[in-house]
A and B are shown apart, each in its own frame.
Chain A
Amino acid sequence: MTLLAHGVGSRTDLPIPIGFALYGAGAAILASFAVLLLFWRTPHLGGPDSGRPVPAGLQRTLDAGGVRRALQLVALLLAAFVVVAALAGPEETSRNLGPWVLFVTFWVGLVPASLLLGPVWRVANPLRLLHRLLRRWGPDAPGAARLPALGLWPAAGALLVFVWLELVYPDRSEPLTVAVFLLAYAVVQLGLALWFGEGWFAAGDGFEAYSTLIARLSPWGRRSDGRLVLRNPLAGALATPAQPGLGALVMVLLGSTAFDGLTRTTWWQTGPGAANDWFSGTVGLLASIALVSGLYVVGTRLSGRLAGQEERIQPARYAATVIPIALGYTVAHYFSLLMLDGQTTWILLSNPFGADGVDLFGTYGNRVDLTAVSADLIALVQVGAIITGHVVGVVLAHERALLSARRARASDQLPLVLVMVVFTLGGLGLLFGF
Protein backbone atom coordinates (compact mmCIF):
# COMPACT_ATOMS: atom_id res chain seq x y z
CA MET A 1 0.00 0.00 0.00
CA THR A 2 2.13 2.86 1.15
CA LEU A 3 5.67 3.04 2.35
CA LEU A 4 5.01 4.74 5.66
CA ALA A 5 5.67 2.12 8.23
CA HIS A 6 3.85 2.18 11.54
CA GLY A 7 0.08 1.75 11.84
CA VAL A 8 -1.10 5.22 10.94
CA GLY A 9 0.31 8.68 10.29
CA SER A 10 0.56 11.32 7.59
CA ARG A 11 4.27 12.09 7.79
CA THR A 12 7.61 10.72 8.84
CA ASP A 13 10.53 12.50 10.43
CA LEU A 14 13.24 14.23 8.48
CA PRO A 15 16.66 12.62 8.59
CA ILE A 16 18.59 14.08 11.51
CA PRO A 17 21.36 16.52 10.52
CA ILE A 18 24.72 14.85 9.95
CA GLY A 19 26.24 16.97 12.73
CA PHE A 20 23.73 15.60 15.22
CA ALA A 21 24.49 12.06 14.12
CA LEU A 22 28.25 12.50 14.42
CA TYR A 23 28.21 14.35 17.75
CA GLY A 24 25.77 11.78 19.08
CA ALA A 25 27.97 8.91 17.98
CA GLY A 26 31.05 10.53 19.51
CA ALA A 27 29.23 11.20 22.77
CA ALA A 28 28.02 7.60 22.97
CA ILE A 29 31.50 6.14 22.50
CA LEU A 30 33.10 8.60 24.89
CA ALA A 31 30.46 8.02 27.56
CA SER A 32 30.90 4.26 27.29
CA PHE A 33 34.58 4.38 28.10
CA ALA A 34 34.09 7.00 30.79
CA VAL A 35 31.65 4.65 32.52
CA LEU A 36 33.97 1.67 32.19
CA LEU A 37 37.14 3.39 33.31
CA LEU A 38 36.10 6.24 35.58
CA PHE A 39 32.90 5.16 37.31
CA TRP A 40 32.55 3.39 40.61
CA ARG A 41 34.44 0.15 41.17
CA THR A 42 32.03 -1.36 43.69
CA PRO A 43 28.25 -1.72 43.35
CA HIS A 44 26.84 1.70 43.87
CA LEU A 45 23.17 1.77 43.00
CA GLY A 46 20.61 0.70 45.55
CA GLY A 47 19.50 -2.91 45.51
CA PRO A 48 15.98 -4.27 45.23
CA ASP A 49 15.25 -3.10 48.77
CA SER A 50 16.27 0.51 48.25
CA GLY A 51 13.89 3.42 48.00
CA ARG A 52 11.78 5.74 50.07
CA PRO A 53 8.43 4.19 51.05
CA VAL A 54 5.35 6.16 50.04
CA PRO A 55 2.86 6.98 52.84
CA ALA A 56 1.04 3.81 53.95
CA GLY A 57 -2.33 5.40 53.23
CA LEU A 58 -1.37 6.09 49.64
CA GLN A 59 -0.23 2.52 49.15
CA ARG A 60 -3.44 1.16 50.69
CA THR A 61 -5.48 3.24 48.25
CA LEU A 62 -3.40 2.30 45.21
CA ASP A 63 -3.36 -1.37 46.12
CA ALA A 64 -7.04 -1.55 47.05
CA GLY A 65 -8.93 -4.14 45.03
CA GLY A 66 -11.87 -1.78 44.58
CA VAL A 67 -9.69 0.96 43.10
CA ARG A 68 -8.14 -1.48 40.65
CA ARG A 69 -11.49 -2.92 39.61
CA ALA A 70 -12.78 0.62 39.06
CA LEU A 71 -9.79 1.55 36.87
CA GLN A 72 -10.15 -1.73 34.97
CA LEU A 73 -13.82 -1.02 34.42
CA VAL A 74 -13.02 2.44 33.00
CA ALA A 75 -10.41 0.89 30.70
CA LEU A 76 -12.87 -1.82 29.67
CA LEU A 77 -15.56 0.71 28.78
CA LEU A 78 -13.06 2.79 26.80
CA ALA A 79 -11.81 -0.30 24.94
CA ALA A 80 -15.36 -1.39 24.13
CA PHE A 81 -16.13 2.13 22.93
CA VAL A 82 -13.09 2.09 20.63
CA VAL A 83 -14.11 -1.28 19.16
CA VAL A 84 -17.65 -0.03 18.53
CA ALA A 85 -16.34 3.22 17.02
CA ALA A 86 -13.98 1.23 14.77
CA LEU A 87 -16.87 -0.92 13.55
CA ALA A 88 -19.66 1.67 13.39
CA GLY A 89 -17.70 4.86 12.69
CA PRO A 90 -16.68 6.22 9.29
CA GLU A 91 -14.95 3.69 7.04
CA GLU A 92 -12.04 5.95 6.11
CA THR A 93 -9.03 5.62 8.40
CA SER A 94 -8.57 9.39 8.44
CA ARG A 95 -12.01 9.80 10.06
CA ASN A 96 -12.18 6.69 12.23
CA LEU A 97 -11.11 6.81 15.85
CA GLY A 98 -10.06 3.15 16.12
CA PRO A 99 -6.69 3.06 14.34
CA TRP A 100 -5.52 6.33 15.90
CA VAL A 101 -6.38 5.26 19.43
CA LEU A 102 -4.76 1.82 19.09
CA PHE A 103 -1.58 2.68 17.18
CA VAL A 104 -0.88 6.16 18.53
CA THR A 105 -2.67 7.13 21.72
CA PHE A 106 -2.62 3.72 23.42
CA TRP A 107 0.48 2.00 22.04
CA VAL A 108 2.76 5.04 21.98
CA GLY A 109 1.10 6.79 24.93
CA LEU A 110 1.68 3.71 27.09
CA VAL A 111 5.40 4.58 27.11
CA PRO A 112 5.27 8.02 28.80
CA ALA A 113 2.42 6.86 31.05
CA SER A 114 4.43 3.87 32.30
CA LEU A 115 7.63 5.86 32.57
CA LEU A 116 5.99 8.47 34.81
CA LEU A 117 3.37 6.48 36.70
CA GLY A 118 4.68 2.92 36.81
CA PRO A 119 3.07 -0.23 35.43
CA VAL A 120 -0.26 1.41 34.59
CA TRP A 121 -1.52 -1.36 32.33
CA ARG A 122 -0.98 -3.98 35.01
CA VAL A 123 -3.24 -1.91 37.27
CA ALA A 124 -5.85 -0.98 34.66
CA ASN A 125 -5.75 -4.05 32.40
CA PRO A 126 -9.43 -4.58 31.51
CA LEU A 127 -8.80 -8.25 30.68
CA ARG A 128 -8.04 -8.86 34.35
CA LEU A 129 -11.54 -7.67 35.23
CA LEU A 130 -13.15 -9.87 32.57
CA HIS A 131 -11.08 -12.80 33.79
CA ARG A 132 -12.34 -12.33 37.35
CA LEU A 133 -15.89 -12.41 36.08
CA LEU A 134 -15.39 -15.43 33.81
CA ARG A 135 -13.23 -17.70 35.93
CA ARG A 136 -16.14 -18.83 38.09
CA TRP A 137 -17.48 -20.76 35.15
CA GLY A 138 -14.18 -21.74 33.61
CA PRO A 139 -11.71 -24.49 34.51
CA ASP A 140 -9.75 -23.96 37.70
CA ALA A 141 -6.49 -22.86 36.06
CA PRO A 142 -5.20 -26.34 35.24
CA GLY A 143 -2.01 -24.98 33.66
CA ALA A 144 -0.96 -22.67 36.52
CA ALA A 145 1.92 -24.89 37.61
CA ARG A 146 3.58 -24.65 34.21
CA LEU A 147 3.40 -20.87 33.96
CA PRO A 148 6.63 -19.93 35.81
CA ALA A 149 8.71 -22.01 33.41
CA LEU A 150 7.35 -20.02 30.47
CA GLY A 151 8.58 -16.75 31.97
CA LEU A 152 8.00 -13.80 29.67
CA TRP A 153 8.18 -15.83 26.45
CA PRO A 154 4.39 -15.67 25.91
CA ALA A 155 4.46 -11.87 26.25
CA ALA A 156 7.33 -11.66 23.77
CA GLY A 157 5.21 -13.73 21.36
CA ALA A 158 2.13 -11.57 21.90
CA LEU A 159 4.14 -8.40 21.27
CA LEU A 160 5.67 -9.91 18.15
CA VAL A 161 2.16 -10.48 16.81
CA PHE A 162 1.22 -6.89 17.59
CA VAL A 163 4.31 -5.29 16.05
CA TRP A 164 3.81 -7.46 12.96
CA LEU A 165 0.28 -6.09 12.69
CA GLU A 166 1.51 -2.55 13.28
CA LEU A 167 4.48 -2.59 10.92
CA VAL A 168 3.84 -5.28 8.32
CA TYR A 169 0.21 -6.32 7.80
CA PRO A 170 -0.92 -4.42 4.68
CA ASP A 171 -4.43 -3.56 5.96
CA ARG A 172 -3.17 -2.53 9.39
CA SER A 173 -4.75 0.91 9.27
CA GLU A 174 -8.26 -0.25 8.34
CA PRO A 175 -10.75 0.28 11.18
CA LEU A 176 -12.07 -3.26 10.69
CA THR A 177 -8.56 -4.68 11.23
CA VAL A 178 -8.28 -2.76 14.49
CA ALA A 179 -11.64 -4.01 15.77
CA VAL A 180 -10.97 -7.62 14.79
CA PHE A 181 -7.52 -7.52 16.33
CA LEU A 182 -8.75 -6.10 19.64
CA LEU A 183 -11.57 -8.62 19.92
CA ALA A 184 -9.40 -11.57 18.90
CA TYR A 185 -6.64 -10.47 21.27
CA ALA A 186 -9.12 -10.29 24.16
CA VAL A 187 -10.59 -13.72 23.40
CA VAL A 188 -7.20 -15.45 23.06
CA GLN A 189 -5.78 -13.79 26.17
CA LEU A 190 -8.85 -14.61 28.26
CA GLY A 191 -8.80 -18.22 27.11
CA LEU A 192 -5.15 -18.58 28.05
CA ALA A 193 -5.74 -16.80 31.37
CA LEU A 194 -8.52 -19.26 32.21
CA TRP A 195 -6.10 -22.10 31.52
CA PHE A 196 -3.02 -20.68 33.24
CA GLY A 197 -4.69 -18.59 35.96
CA GLU A 198 -4.50 -14.89 36.75
CA GLY A 199 -0.71 -14.97 36.65
CA TRP A 200 -1.00 -15.31 32.88
CA PHE A 201 -1.47 -11.57 32.31
CA ALA A 202 1.93 -10.60 33.70
CA ALA A 203 3.57 -13.36 31.65
CA GLY A 204 1.53 -13.38 28.47
CA ASP A 205 -0.31 -10.11 27.88
CA GLY A 206 2.08 -8.20 25.63
CA PHE A 207 0.75 -4.78 26.53
CA GLU A 208 0.91 -5.43 30.26
CA ALA A 209 4.42 -6.83 29.99
CA TYR A 210 5.45 -3.83 27.87
CA SER A 211 4.04 -1.36 30.39
CA THR A 212 5.72 -3.22 33.25
CA LEU A 213 9.03 -3.30 31.39
CA ILE A 214 9.01 0.46 30.71
CA ALA A 215 7.90 1.06 34.31
CA ARG A 216 11.19 -0.54 35.41
CA LEU A 217 12.68 2.84 34.53
CA SER A 218 10.02 4.82 36.39
CA PRO A 219 10.64 6.27 39.87
CA TRP A 220 8.05 3.84 41.28
CA GLY A 221 9.11 0.49 42.58
CA ARG A 222 8.17 -2.30 44.91
CA ARG A 223 10.52 -3.55 47.58
CA SER A 224 10.81 -7.29 48.02
CA ASP A 225 8.48 -7.01 51.05
CA GLY A 226 5.80 -5.53 48.77
CA ARG A 227 6.18 -1.98 50.06
CA LEU A 228 5.63 0.67 47.37
CA VAL A 229 8.68 2.95 47.16
CA LEU A 230 10.01 5.89 45.22
CA ARG A 231 13.55 5.15 44.12
CA ASN A 232 16.33 5.70 41.64
CA PRO A 233 14.97 4.32 38.34
CA LEU A 234 18.36 2.71 37.72
CA ALA A 235 18.01 0.67 40.90
CA GLY A 236 14.51 -0.27 39.78
CA ALA A 237 15.77 -1.46 36.40
CA LEU A 238 18.51 -3.58 37.98
CA ALA A 239 15.97 -5.17 40.30
CA THR A 240 14.11 -6.61 37.30
CA PRO A 241 13.76 -10.34 37.99
CA ALA A 242 15.81 -12.37 35.47
CA GLN A 243 12.85 -14.32 34.12
CA PRO A 244 13.15 -16.58 31.10
CA GLY A 245 12.13 -14.61 28.02
CA LEU A 246 12.98 -11.18 29.45
CA GLY A 247 15.75 -10.84 26.89
CA ALA A 248 13.41 -11.96 24.11
CA LEU A 249 10.86 -9.34 25.12
CA VAL A 250 13.45 -6.56 25.05
CA MET A 251 14.84 -7.79 21.73
CA VAL A 252 11.37 -7.83 20.11
CA LEU A 253 10.96 -4.19 21.14
CA LEU A 254 14.42 -3.14 20.04
CA GLY A 255 14.38 -5.11 16.79
CA SER A 256 10.89 -4.00 15.77
CA THR A 257 11.65 -0.33 16.40
CA ALA A 258 14.87 -0.70 14.43
CA PHE A 259 12.86 -2.26 11.62
CA ASP A 260 10.41 0.64 11.72
CA GLY A 261 13.36 3.00 11.30
CA LEU A 262 14.77 0.83 8.53
CA THR A 263 11.56 0.97 6.51
CA ARG A 264 11.81 4.76 6.41
CA THR A 265 15.22 4.74 4.75
CA THR A 266 15.55 5.19 1.03
CA TRP A 267 17.79 2.13 1.01
CA TRP A 268 14.98 -0.12 2.23
CA GLN A 269 12.29 1.55 0.13
CA THR A 270 14.21 1.16 -3.09
CA GLY A 271 16.00 -2.06 -2.17
CA PRO A 272 14.86 -5.06 -0.14
CA GLY A 273 11.52 -3.50 0.78
CA ALA A 274 10.66 -2.16 -2.67
CA ALA A 275 7.90 -4.73 -3.11
CA ASN A 276 6.33 -3.33 0.08
CA ASP A 277 4.32 -6.48 0.67
CA TRP A 278 3.77 -8.65 3.70
CA PHE A 279 6.54 -11.05 2.69
CA SER A 280 9.36 -8.50 2.55
CA GLY A 281 7.97 -6.89 5.70
CA THR A 282 7.81 -10.15 7.64
CA VAL A 283 11.30 -11.16 6.59
CA GLY A 284 12.62 -7.68 7.39
CA LEU A 285 10.99 -7.60 10.81
CA LEU A 286 12.19 -11.07 11.80
CA ALA A 287 15.67 -10.37 10.42
CA SER A 288 15.90 -7.14 12.42
CA ILE A 289 14.92 -8.91 15.64
CA ALA A 290 17.29 -11.79 14.87
CA LEU A 291 20.14 -9.37 14.17
CA VAL A 292 19.84 -7.42 17.43
CA SER A 293 19.29 -10.65 19.37
CA GLY A 294 22.36 -12.25 17.81
CA LEU A 295 24.54 -9.25 18.61
CA TYR A 296 23.22 -9.15 22.15
CA VAL A 297 23.76 -12.85 22.84
CA VAL A 298 27.29 -12.77 21.39
CA GLY A 299 28.16 -9.64 23.39
CA THR A 300 26.90 -10.94 26.72
CA ARG A 301 28.37 -14.42 26.30
CA LEU A 302 31.75 -13.02 25.30
CA SER A 303 31.73 -10.72 28.31
CA GLY A 304 30.86 -13.70 30.48
CA ARG A 305 33.67 -15.78 29.01
CA LEU A 306 36.22 -13.02 29.67
CA ALA A 307 34.99 -12.77 33.24
CA GLY A 308 35.26 -16.53 33.66
CA GLN A 309 31.56 -16.92 34.35
CA GLU A 310 29.00 -19.36 33.07
CA GLU A 311 28.21 -18.14 29.54
CA ARG A 312 24.74 -19.59 29.28
CA ILE A 313 23.19 -17.38 31.95
CA GLN A 314 24.68 -14.12 30.70
CA PRO A 315 21.98 -13.05 28.17
CA ALA A 316 19.28 -13.31 30.87
CA ARG A 317 21.50 -11.64 33.46
CA TYR A 318 22.03 -8.49 31.38
CA ALA A 319 18.61 -8.29 29.67
CA ALA A 320 17.38 -5.48 31.92
CA THR A 321 20.36 -3.32 30.98
CA VAL A 322 19.10 -3.12 27.38
CA ILE A 323 15.66 -1.78 28.42
CA PRO A 324 16.88 1.86 28.36
CA ILE A 325 18.33 1.39 24.87
CA ALA A 326 15.04 -0.06 23.60
CA LEU A 327 13.22 2.81 25.31
CA GLY A 328 15.55 5.34 23.66
CA TYR A 329 14.78 3.82 20.26
CA THR A 330 11.06 3.96 21.00
CA VAL A 331 11.09 7.61 22.05
CA ALA A 332 13.22 8.55 19.05
CA HIS A 333 10.86 6.88 16.61
CA TYR A 334 7.44 7.67 18.07
CA PHE A 335 7.78 11.05 19.81
CA SER A 336 6.67 13.01 16.77
CA LEU A 337 3.89 10.51 15.98
CA LEU A 338 2.35 11.05 19.41
CA MET A 339 2.77 14.83 19.34
CA LEU A 340 1.66 15.46 15.75
CA ASP A 341 -0.54 12.74 14.25
CA GLY A 342 -1.67 11.91 17.81
CA GLN A 343 -3.76 15.09 17.67
CA THR A 344 -6.13 13.19 15.38
CA THR A 345 -7.51 11.18 18.31
CA TRP A 346 -8.65 14.34 20.10
CA ILE A 347 -10.20 15.70 16.93
CA LEU A 348 -12.14 12.52 16.14
CA LEU A 349 -13.25 12.07 19.74
CA SER A 350 -15.67 14.95 19.17
CA ASN A 351 -17.58 12.86 16.64
CA PRO A 352 -16.61 9.19 16.95
CA PHE A 353 -19.42 7.92 14.74
CA GLY A 354 -19.11 10.53 12.03
CA ALA A 355 -22.67 11.76 12.47
CA ASP A 356 -23.68 15.03 10.85
CA GLY A 357 -23.51 18.07 13.08
CA VAL A 358 -22.02 16.28 16.08
CA ASP A 359 -19.10 18.08 17.73
CA LEU A 360 -18.96 17.03 21.39
CA PHE A 361 -15.84 18.89 22.45
CA GLY A 362 -15.72 21.53 19.74
CA THR A 363 -12.58 20.00 18.20
CA TYR A 364 -14.03 18.21 15.17
CA GLY A 365 -13.32 21.08 12.81
CA ASN A 366 -9.69 21.32 13.94
CA ARG A 367 -6.87 20.35 11.67
CA VAL A 368 -3.82 18.43 12.79
CA ASP A 369 -1.07 21.01 13.25
CA LEU A 370 1.98 19.29 11.82
CA THR A 371 4.15 22.25 12.81
CA ALA A 372 3.24 22.05 16.53
CA VAL A 373 6.70 20.63 17.24
CA SER A 374 9.56 22.02 15.18
CA ALA A 375 11.80 19.77 13.12
CA ASP A 376 14.79 20.90 15.21
CA LEU A 377 13.12 19.90 18.46
CA ILE A 378 12.17 16.50 17.02
CA ALA A 379 15.78 15.87 15.96
CA LEU A 380 17.03 16.97 19.39
CA VAL A 381 14.62 14.64 21.19
CA GLN A 382 15.57 11.78 18.87
CA VAL A 383 19.31 12.08 19.40
CA GLY A 384 18.84 12.89 23.09
CA ALA A 385 16.72 9.77 23.63
CA ILE A 386 19.15 7.46 21.84
CA ILE A 387 22.18 8.83 23.72
CA THR A 388 20.43 8.88 27.12
CA GLY A 389 19.26 5.31 26.60
CA HIS A 390 22.79 4.28 25.69
CA VAL A 391 24.44 5.93 28.68
CA VAL A 392 21.89 4.50 31.12
CA GLY A 393 22.28 1.07 29.51
CA VAL A 394 26.08 1.13 29.84
CA VAL A 395 25.84 2.31 33.47
CA LEU A 396 23.41 -0.50 34.27
CA ALA A 397 25.61 -3.08 32.57
CA HIS A 398 28.60 -1.79 34.55
CA GLU A 399 26.74 -2.07 37.84
CA ARG A 400 25.41 -5.49 36.88
CA ALA A 401 28.94 -6.70 36.16
CA LEU A 402 30.13 -5.44 39.54
CA LEU A 403 27.22 -7.19 41.24
CA SER A 404 28.07 -10.47 39.58
CA ALA A 405 31.76 -10.28 40.50
CA ARG A 406 33.13 -7.82 43.02
CA ARG A 407 36.43 -7.52 41.22
CA ALA A 408 35.03 -7.38 37.71
CA ARG A 409 37.60 -5.95 35.31
CA ALA A 410 36.55 -3.14 33.02
CA SER A 411 37.93 -5.02 30.03
CA ASP A 412 35.57 -7.96 30.69
CA GLN A 413 32.64 -5.68 30.03
CA LEU A 414 34.01 -4.51 26.71
CA PRO A 415 32.16 -6.93 24.38
CA LEU A 416 28.73 -6.03 25.76
CA VAL A 417 29.54 -2.32 25.76
CA LEU A 418 30.71 -2.59 22.15
CA VAL A 419 27.41 -4.24 21.23
CA MET A 420 25.58 -1.38 22.93
CA VAL A 421 27.68 1.09 20.95
CA VAL A 422 26.68 -0.78 17.78
CA PHE A 423 22.99 -0.53 18.77
CA THR A 424 23.39 3.18 19.35
CA LEU A 425 25.34 3.94 16.20
CA GLY A 426 22.84 1.81 14.30
CA GLY A 427 20.00 3.76 15.86
CA LEU A 428 21.60 7.08 14.92
CA GLY A 429 22.28 5.73 11.43
CA LEU A 430 18.62 4.84 11.00
CA LEU A 431 17.61 8.33 12.14
CA PHE A 432 20.11 9.80 9.69
CA GLY A 433 18.64 7.54 7.02
CA PHE A 434 22.08 6.31 5.90
Chain B
Amino acid sequence: MTIRPARLPRALAASALALALPLTGCAGTDEGTASDTTTSPTSSSATAAGDPEPTAEPAQEPGQRLEVTVAGGQLSGDTGRVPVPVGEQVTLVITSDVADEAHVHGYDLTADLQPGTPAQLTFDATIPGVFEVELHDAGTVLLTLQVS
Protein backbone atom coordinates (compact mmCIF):
# COMPACT_ATOMS: atom_id res chain seq x y z
CA MET B 1 0.00 0.00 0.00
CA THR B 2 0.96 3.58 0.14
CA ILE B 3 -0.79 6.80 0.75
CA ARG B 4 1.62 8.95 -1.08
CA PRO B 5 1.31 12.71 -1.07
CA ALA B 6 2.79 14.46 -4.09
CA ARG B 7 6.53 14.69 -3.84
CA LEU B 8 8.51 17.79 -4.44
CA PRO B 9 10.73 17.36 -7.43
CA ARG B 10 14.12 16.43 -6.12
CA ALA B 11 15.86 19.49 -7.57
CA LEU B 12 13.40 21.77 -5.86
CA ALA B 13 13.77 19.92 -2.59
CA ALA B 14 17.53 20.12 -2.86
CA SER B 15 17.50 23.86 -3.44
CA ALA B 16 15.08 24.38 -0.57
CA LEU B 17 17.46 22.33 1.49
CA ALA B 18 20.41 24.49 0.53
CA LEU B 19 18.50 27.55 1.70
CA ALA B 20 17.52 25.88 4.93
CA LEU B 21 21.00 24.66 5.83
CA PRO B 22 22.38 27.83 7.39
CA LEU B 23 19.32 28.06 9.60
CA THR B 24 19.42 24.49 10.77
CA GLY B 25 23.13 24.91 11.33
CA CYS B 26 22.36 27.53 13.92
CA ALA B 27 19.70 25.48 15.54
CA GLY B 28 22.05 22.54 15.63
CA THR B 29 24.32 24.23 18.15
CA ASP B 30 22.18 23.31 21.12
CA GLU B 31 21.33 19.86 19.94
CA GLY B 32 21.18 18.46 23.46
CA THR B 33 17.71 19.79 24.12
CA ALA B 34 15.36 18.29 21.62
CA SER B 35 12.79 20.98 22.27
CA ASP B 36 14.67 23.67 20.38
CA THR B 37 15.70 21.65 17.39
CA THR B 38 12.36 20.27 16.38
CA THR B 39 10.72 21.14 13.15
CA SER B 40 7.05 21.64 13.73
CA PRO B 41 4.90 18.80 12.46
CA THR B 42 2.75 19.43 9.44
CA SER B 43 -0.44 17.61 8.76
CA SER B 44 -0.71 16.17 5.29
CA SER B 45 -2.75 17.53 2.45
CA ALA B 46 -6.53 17.65 2.43
CA THR B 47 -7.27 15.23 5.22
CA ALA B 48 -5.59 17.31 7.88
CA ALA B 49 -8.49 18.38 10.05
CA GLY B 50 -9.30 15.71 12.58
CA ASP B 51 -8.99 14.66 16.16
CA PRO B 52 -5.42 13.43 16.48
CA GLU B 53 -4.14 16.96 16.05
CA PRO B 54 -0.43 17.08 16.61
CA THR B 55 0.47 19.23 19.58
CA ALA B 56 3.96 20.54 19.54
CA GLU B 57 4.51 20.97 23.23
CA PRO B 58 7.70 19.19 24.04
CA ALA B 59 7.98 20.93 27.39
CA GLN B 60 6.01 18.39 29.45
CA GLU B 61 6.48 15.21 27.40
CA PRO B 62 4.41 12.66 29.22
CA GLY B 63 3.62 9.32 27.60
CA GLN B 64 5.94 7.43 25.33
CA ARG B 65 8.97 8.91 23.62
CA LEU B 66 10.23 7.03 20.58
CA GLU B 67 13.41 7.94 18.76
CA VAL B 68 14.60 6.68 15.39
CA THR B 69 17.76 7.67 13.59
CA VAL B 70 18.39 7.09 9.89
CA ALA B 71 22.03 7.17 8.83
CA GLY B 72 23.29 5.86 5.51
CA GLY B 73 20.03 4.00 4.96
CA GLN B 74 20.42 2.15 8.27
CA LEU B 75 17.90 2.51 11.08
CA SER B 76 18.67 2.64 14.77
CA GLY B 77 16.65 3.37 17.88
CA ASP B 78 13.05 2.33 18.50
CA THR B 79 12.51 0.42 15.26
CA GLY B 80 10.42 -2.67 14.65
CA ARG B 81 7.02 -3.11 16.19
CA VAL B 82 6.40 -0.82 19.15
CA PRO B 83 3.41 -1.45 21.43
CA VAL B 84 1.58 1.67 22.62
CA PRO B 85 -1.46 1.68 24.94
CA VAL B 86 -4.58 3.35 23.49
CA GLY B 87 -4.89 6.96 24.61
CA GLU B 88 -1.22 7.39 25.45
CA GLN B 89 0.59 10.43 24.19
CA VAL B 90 3.32 9.48 21.75
CA THR B 91 6.30 11.65 20.93
CA LEU B 92 8.17 10.53 17.86
CA VAL B 93 11.62 11.98 17.33
CA ILE B 94 13.08 11.18 13.92
CA THR B 95 16.56 12.15 12.81
CA SER B 96 17.60 11.51 9.23
CA ASP B 97 20.88 12.23 7.43
CA VAL B 98 18.97 13.00 4.22
CA ALA B 99 15.97 15.22 3.62
CA ASP B 100 12.72 13.29 3.50
CA GLU B 101 9.23 13.30 4.89
CA ALA B 102 8.02 11.04 7.68
CA HIS B 103 4.41 9.84 7.55
CA VAL B 104 2.41 8.20 10.34
CA HIS B 105 -0.22 6.15 8.50
CA GLY B 106 -3.77 6.03 9.79
CA TYR B 107 -3.21 9.09 11.96
CA ASP B 108 -2.11 10.75 8.74
CA LEU B 109 0.56 12.97 10.26
CA THR B 110 3.65 14.08 8.42
CA ALA B 111 6.86 15.80 9.42
CA ASP B 112 9.49 17.29 7.16
CA LEU B 113 12.93 15.94 7.85
CA GLN B 114 16.00 18.10 7.40
CA PRO B 115 19.38 16.35 7.37
CA GLY B 116 20.73 15.99 10.87
CA THR B 117 17.90 17.83 12.55
CA PRO B 118 15.58 15.83 14.76
CA ALA B 119 11.93 16.28 13.80
CA GLN B 120 9.32 15.73 16.43
CA LEU B 121 5.71 14.58 16.17
CA THR B 122 3.53 14.50 19.25
CA PHE B 123 0.04 13.01 19.17
CA ASP B 124 -2.43 11.03 21.26
CA ALA B 125 -2.66 7.39 20.19
CA THR B 126 -6.46 7.29 20.12
CA ILE B 127 -6.97 4.93 17.15
CA PRO B 128 -6.35 1.24 17.85
CA GLY B 129 -4.63 -0.81 15.16
CA VAL B 130 -1.23 -1.37 13.60
CA PHE B 131 0.21 1.64 11.78
CA GLU B 132 3.42 2.17 9.88
CA VAL B 133 5.66 5.18 10.23
CA GLU B 134 7.32 5.51 6.86
CA LEU B 135 9.81 7.68 4.99
CA HIS B 136 8.04 8.87 1.89
CA ASP B 137 10.91 9.35 -0.51
CA ALA B 138 13.01 6.41 0.59
CA GLY B 139 9.97 4.21 1.22
CA THR B 140 11.62 2.88 4.39
CA VAL B 141 9.40 1.78 7.26
CA LEU B 142 10.91 3.37 10.37
CA LEU B 143 8.76 1.59 12.90
CA THR B 144 5.30 0.12 13.30
CA LEU B 145 3.04 1.41 16.05
CA GLN B 146 0.82 -1.23 17.59
CA VAL B 147 -1.83 0.74 19.41
CA SER B 148 -3.91 -1.52 21.66
Q: Are A and B interaction partners?
A: yes
Residues of A within 8 A of B (CB): 1-15, 91-95, 172-173, 264, 266, 269-270, 365, 367-368, 370-371, 374-375
Knowing A266-B80, A375-B128, say if A9 contacts B1 (CB, 8 Å).
Answer: yes
Per-residue CB contact flags for chain B residues 107-136 toward chain A (1 = under 8 Å, else 0) read 010000000000000000011111110100
Complex: A2 Cα to B47 Cα, angstroms = 21
Interface presence of B146 (CB below 8 A) = yes
Asked whether, in the complex, the Cβ of A94 is within 8 Å of the Cβ of B4, the reply is yes
Residues of B within 8 A of A (CB): 1-6, 45-47, 49-50, 80-81, 105-106, 108, 126-132, 134, 139, 141, 144, 146-148
* Contact (Cβ within 8 A) B1 A370: no
**Of listed A7, A12, A91, residue having the most chain B CB within 10 A:** A12
Contacts of B106 in A (CB 8 A): 10-11, 370
A266 vs B83: C-alpha distance when bound (angstroms): 13
Assuming the contacts A10-B105, A94-B5, asked whether A266 and B81 have C-beta atoms less than 8 A apart, the reply is yes
Determine the residue in chain A with the shortest Cβ distance to B79: A270
B134 / chain A contacts, CB cutoff of 8 Å? 2
CB-based contact A2/B128 at 8 Å = no
- Is A92 within 8 A of B4, CB to CB? yes
CA A92 to CA B6, docked complex, whole Å: 6
Q: Evaluate contact between B1 and A264: CB separation under 8 angstroms.
A: no
Residues of B within 8 A of A94 (CB): 3-5, 45, 47
Which residue in chain A gives the minimum CB-CB distance to B131?
A11
The contact of B129 among A1, A13, A172, by CB within 8 Å, is A13
Q: Contact check: which of A6, A264, A365, A367 meets B130 at CB < 8 Å?
A: A264
The distance from the CB of B41 to the nearest CB of chain A, in whole angstroms, is 17
A211, B127: Cα distance in complex, Å: 33
Contact status A8-B1, CB under 8 Å: yes
Nearest CB on B from A349, distance (A): 15
A3 touches B144 (CB 8 A): yes
- Look across to chain A and name the residue whose beta carbon is closest to the beta carbon of B108: A10
Which one of A6, A13, A93, A269 contacts B4 once the chains associate, using CB atoms below 8 Å?
A93
Q: Which residues of A contact B126 (CB under 8 A)?
A: 371
CA distance A8 to B3 in the complex (A): 8
Q: How far is the CB of B62 from chain A (nearest CB, A)?
A: 22
Per the bound structure, the CA–CA distance linking A301 and B79 in Å amounts to: 46
What CA separation (Å) do A14 and B148 show in the bound complex? 7
Q: Is B1's CB under 8 angstroms from A14's CB? A: no
What residues of A have a CB within 8 angstroms of the CB of B49 in the complex? 365, 367
Provided the pairs A2-B139, A270-B80, A370-B129 are in contact, do residues A93 and B105 lie with their beta carbons within 8 angstroms?
A: no
Instruction: Show 18 A/B contacts (Cβ-Cβ < 8 Å), sorted by A.
Output: A1-B139, A3-B132, A9-B1, A10-B3, A11-B127, A12-B129, A14-B129, A14-B147, A14-B148, A93-B1, A172-B1, A173-B1, A266-B80, A365-B46, A365-B49, A367-B49, A370-B106, A371-B127
Q: Are A14 and B81 in contact (CB under 8 A)?
A: no
Residues of A within 8 A of B128 (CB): 14, 371, 374-375
- List residues of chain B with CB within 8 A of the CB of A375: 128-129, 148
